[in-house]
Amino acid sequence: MIVESSEQVPRLKWPRRFPVPRDFGVAKNSRIIEGKSWPEPEGATRIATLRIYRYEPDNDGPPRIDTFAVDLDDCGPMLLDALIWIKSKVDSTLTFRRSCREGVCGSCAMTIDGTNWTACTRAMDELSEPSTIYPLANLPVIKDLVSDQTHLFAQHALTEPWLHTETPAPERERIQSVDQRRALDGSYECILCFCCTSGCPSHWWNGDRFLGPAALLTAWRWLADSRDEGRGERLDSLDDPFRLYRCHTILNCTRTCPRGLNPGKAIGEIKRMMLERGG
Amino acid sequence: MSNPRPQSPNMQNYRPQLTSVMSFGHRLSGSALVFFAFGLSAWLVAGAAGPLVFDDAQAVVHSIAGRVMLILASLAVFYHLCNGIRHLIWDSVHGFELRAIYAGGWAVVGASLFLTSALWIWVLA
Ligand code: SF4
Ligand code: SF4
Ligand code: FES
């Protein structure tokens, strides 16, 4: 099938996951066991089954998958509504991040049915039955669906996402033409949900040194800014076999961005800019 | 904290997509071609070593397993070639729209299957 927008939910029922054993290459404390199955709500006629990853740091137990039955007639239309419904009506210990509930804060990103998306913009009727809800892929888990993104933000900070200048500050603001401003469209809208970086196989294998699509999209946002005077140092810092060039143009990033951005293309632009300066 | 945090699954839970599957395929066909190159040189060495050795080598090539390997090797050649062209286009920062990514991906799959069958129909005919 041809995918035209990252919003499109995969239609094929198969294959749902790669043909590898569930515990393939998985450290002992990360292996997932079957957890609790909660009873169906009484009197419900329309039910959605959510299989949710749980991890409780305060006891020594391994992560587990709990099964919840959600009464669709009693909760809002989005996955985030269903999670809030579970938290208030079934199990108040279920833990997840959320804030804006409209896809602009990036807090509620998770791996939904095997692909990354923000829970507040994924409708319940787009889920499979049963659906699987995991914390963002390939990250240390703090509790349940809350992942530890310290490393991802450190990588983001490494791109020095602020204006670098050498010329003295002008009397008024630094001016851009309409076209120069337009060159930033598609790279400044990133909400740092990290759906892309968490879904990038290259970042799975080399995430300690490869910056990943989210940080590289931000790097491009400053490289493309006509007011920025730090292009040379910015390129120097990226000119490294790992930081930039571990991107193999797999494009899982572009496929999964809930804002419809194109980090894969931004990385292509950086590689071309690097080539053009001869480095 | 006493116990280190668990890591959420990646490959074990993430959905295979045309994007990632074709990239793995590119790696796989690339590595397969290295082995194919060894096989090819072994065959050439056998040819240089004289008719007796060469007859043995030919027997291996014409066995069922040998034929399957040859067909797979030709598929790897065509796939790696076509997908390599796709990567060249990306290197010029073209074709990054999702529609182009998917259309190009399916075109590469189709073209490599077509070229492989065409080659073998031509060889065996
Ligand atoms: S295009 Fe690059 S950054 Fe995006 S998923 Fe692929 S390897 Fe990762
Ligand atoms: S590029 Fe898209 S997927 Fe990646 S962090 Fe930004 S908004 Fe999220
Ligand atoms: S709650 Fe803000 S993006 Fe979902």
Residue range B21-124 forms a domain whose CATH class is mainly alpha
**pLDDT band at B33; cut points 50, 70, 90:** very high
Distance A263 CA to ligand 2 centre (A): 8
Handedness of CA A265, A269, A272, A278 (dihedral sign): negative
- On whether any CB of chain B is under 8 Å from the CB of A272, the answer is yes
pLDDT tens for A173-184 read 999 999 999 999
pLDDT at A59: 87
pLDDT at A279: 55
CA distance A126 to A64: 24
Percentage of chain A beyond pLDDT 90 is 96
Q: Domains, chain A, ranges and CATH?
A: 28-146 (3.10.20.30), 150-277 (1.10.1060.10)
Distance A139 CA to ligand 3 centre (A): 19
pLDDT tens for A8-61 read 998 887 889 999 999 999 999 999 999 999 999 999 999 999 999 999 999 889
**pLDDT band at B3; cut points 50, 70, 90:** low
Q: Burial of B37 by CB count in 10 Å (0-12 exposed, 13-18 middle, 19+ buried)? A: exposed
Say what angle helices B64-91 and B51-62 make with each other, to 10 degrees. 80
pLDDT at A11: 81
Does the pLDDT of residue B14 top 70, yes or no? Answer: yes
B80 is an annotated ligand-binding site residue: yes
Distance A220 CA to ligand 3 centre (A): 24
B11/A16 CB distance under 8 A:
no
pLDDT tens for B64-120 read 999 999 999 999 999 999 999 999 999 999 999 999 999 999 999 999 999 999 999
Cα separation of the two ends of chain A: 39
A151 membership: H or E segment, kind and range = helix A150-158
Residue at token pair 């890591």:
B7
Task: Pick left, alpha or beta for residue B50 (phi over 0 → left; psi -120 to 50 → alpha; otherwise beta).
Answer: left
Nearest Cα of chain B lies from the Cα of A193 at a distance, in angstroms, of 16
User: Between the CA atoms of A131, B109, A201 and A49, what dihedral angle is there, to the nearest 10 degrees?
Assistant: 0
Quick one: closest CA in A to B91, which residue? A268
What's the complex ipTM?
Answer: 0.92
**A118 CB near ligand 3 (under 6 Å):** yes
A204 contacts in chain B (CB < 8 Å): 10-11
C-alpha pair distances (Å), B91 with each of A211, A245, A273, B96: 19, 12, 11, 10
Does the pLDDT of residue A157 top 50, yes or no? Answer: yes
Which one of B5, B11, B92 has the shortest CB-CB distance to A148?
B5
> Rounded to the nearest 5°, which phi and psi values hold at B42?
-60, -40
Which one of B8, B97, B102 has the shortest CB-CB distance to A147?
B8
Does the pLDDT of residue B2 top 70, yes or no? Answer: no
**A200 CB near ligand 1 (under 6 Å):** yes
pLDDT at A278: 84
CA distance A228 to A160: 12
Q: Give me the residue spans of the domains in chain B.
A: 21-124
